[in-house]
């Protein structure tokens, strides 16, 4: 993620709604991938309706007929906002979703909503009886179904998310990680499943036609005694070939975004060009070592607690080839 500049010269960050130096209202333009002071853009440009109504968005709307930005337009269900903590959770979810959408836009990936395609990309943020006894659902799993990405809003609560992380034994569990992983399932259908790439996918990841429900049932029944395959990027990647794909996809997005951030701060491990996979993987190896060392110096767990095997590197190259074909 790059940083931005106000028209007055002050540095702006991706979530800023106002410039701290000149106090101008600012917004992110998804067409140019830049942040502007609203006073400096066309008069018909305005902030998304979710900014004025709920203060959960800072993206610009340029279409006179639209109320919502490209990110908020993808929302199918949002939390009940009567309780103040749910509004906080929703704001955190929107922060993470917009970072995902930024990455997808910067990589030139198609973002097709349900207004254009019945199986287009959409999001629902819902909860279950564990956090709200008044709802119908007994248990809501974060997941993907034909373009619809569901996030249990309790994931936005740091305590609940840490409990889940410890219970599942996941080394890395963040809201942004959830969005990136689930987007991988969506783009599997867009880039792989009905394309010539499916044969190469099966060589690398396995046969995606294996029964998904049975595979996940076996994984969750045996995960506590299952020894992690060192060739795979994570423990959960063992669940099913499509879960392995989604894990690798999300790690690719982690890598691209973090390398861009490092590049913007002129770190030698940073990267400004995204079309050279050899350079990306080399820089990522260097940068992840720096990140982990910095975290250890602060007494924190490793920022990137993963080892990339030769097979995983080949899978990352496969993902890169689909996104940035030569």
Report residue 291 as tokens. Answer: 């990140």
Displacement of CA 100 from its chain's centroid (Å)? 4
Residue 223: predicted pLDDT: 85
Nearest in space to 275 (alpha carbons), one of 326, 318, 316, 319: 326
Has residue 165 got a pLDDT over 70?
no
Q: Report residue 167's pLDDT band, with 50, 70 and 90 as the boundaries.
A: low
DSSP code, position 59: B
Alpha carbons 159 and 100: distance in angstroms, whole number: 23
Residue 245: predicted pLDDT: 97
pLDDT tens column, 251-261: 999 999 999 99
The dihedrals phi and psi of 234, each to the nearest 5 degrees, come to -155, 170
What mean pLDDT is predicted for residues 205-232? Answer: 92
What mean pLDDT is predicted for residues 19-27? Answer: 91
Residue 141: predicted pLDDT: 86
pTM over 0.85: yes
Has residue 277 got a pLDDT over 90?
yes
DSSP code, position 196: T
Share of the chain above pLDDT 70, in %: 96
Has residue 14 got a pLDDT over 70?
yes
Q: Report residue 7's pLDDT band, with 50, 70 and 90 as the boundaries.
A: confident
Share of the chain above pLDDT 90, in %: 64
State the residue for tokens 């110096």.
297
Alpha carbons 201 and 242: distance in angstroms, whole number: 10
Query: Do 94 and 57 meet the contact criterion of CB atoms below 8 Å apart?
Result: yes
Residue 174: predicted pLDDT: 87
Q: What angle, 0 to 180 degrees and rounded to 10, lies between the N-to-C axes of helices 277-297 and 310-323?
A: 120
Q: Report residue 295's pLDDT band, with 50, 70 and 90 as the boundaries.
A: very high
User: Residue 285's CB: how many other CB atoms inside 10 A?
Assistant: 12
Mean pLDDT of the chain: 90
Has residue 164 got a pLDDT over 80?
no
Residue 216: predicted pLDDT: 93
Radius of gyration of the chain (CA): 20
Q: Report residue 136's pLDDT band, with 50, 70 and 90 as the boundaries.
A: confident
DSSP code, position 41: S
What mean pLDDT is predicted for residues 304-324? Answer: 95
Q: Find the helix or strand (DSSP H, E) in which 242 lies.
A: helix 241-264
Least confident of 156-165, 239-248, 317-326: 156-165
* Strand 4-5 relative to strand 11-12, pairing: antiparallel
Beta strands in the chain (DSSP E): 4-5, 11-12, 26-29, 34-37, 46-47, 60-61, 75-77, 122-126, 143-145, 148-152
Report residue 188 as tokens. Answer: 């599997």
pLDDT tens column, 41-90: 777 889 999 998 998 999 999 888 899 999 999 999 998 887 888 888 99
- 33: alpha, beta or left, given left = phi > 0 and alpha = psi -120 to 50? left
């Amino acid at each position: 993620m790059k940083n931005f500049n106000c028209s007055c010269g002050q540095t702006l960050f991706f979530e800023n709604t106002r410039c701290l130096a000149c106090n101008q209202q600012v917004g992110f333009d998804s067409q140019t991938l830049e942040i502007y002071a609203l006073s400096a853009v066309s008069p018909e440009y305005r902030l998304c309706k979710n900014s004025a109504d709920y203060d959960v968005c800072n993206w610009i709307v340029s279409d006179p007929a639209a109320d919502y930005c490209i990110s908020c337009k993808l929302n199918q269900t949002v939390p009940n906002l009567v309780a103040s903590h749910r509004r906080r959770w929703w704001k955190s979810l929107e922060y993470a979703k917009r970072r995902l959408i930024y990455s997808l836009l910067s990589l030139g990936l198609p973002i097709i909503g349900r207004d254009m395609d019945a199986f287009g990309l959409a999001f629902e943020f819902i909860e279950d009886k564990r956090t709200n006894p008044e709802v119908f659902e007994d248990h809501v799993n974060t997941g993907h179904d034909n373009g619809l990405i569901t996030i249990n809003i309790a994931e936005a609560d740091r305590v609940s998310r840490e409990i889940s992380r410890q219970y599942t034994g996941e080394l890395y569990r963040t809201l942004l990680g959830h969005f990136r992983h689930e987007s991988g399932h969506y783009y599997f259908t867009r880039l792989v499943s009905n394309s010539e790439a499916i044969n190469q996918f099966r060589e690398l990841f396995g046969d995606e036609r294996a029964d998904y429900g049975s595979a996940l049932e076996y994984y969750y029944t045996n995960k506590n005694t299952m020894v992690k395959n060192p060739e795979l990027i994570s423990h959960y990647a063992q669940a099913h070939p499509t879960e392995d794909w989604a894990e690798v996809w999300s790690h690719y997005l982690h890598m691209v975004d973090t390398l861009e951030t490092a590049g913007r701060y002129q770190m030698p491990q940073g990267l400004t060009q995204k079309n050279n996979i050899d350079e990306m993987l080399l820089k990522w190896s260097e940068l992840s070592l720096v990140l982990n060392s910095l975290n250890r110096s602060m007494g924190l767990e490793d920022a990137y607690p993963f080892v990339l095997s030769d097979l995983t590197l080949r899978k990352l190259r496969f993902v890169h080839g689909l996104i940035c074909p030569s």
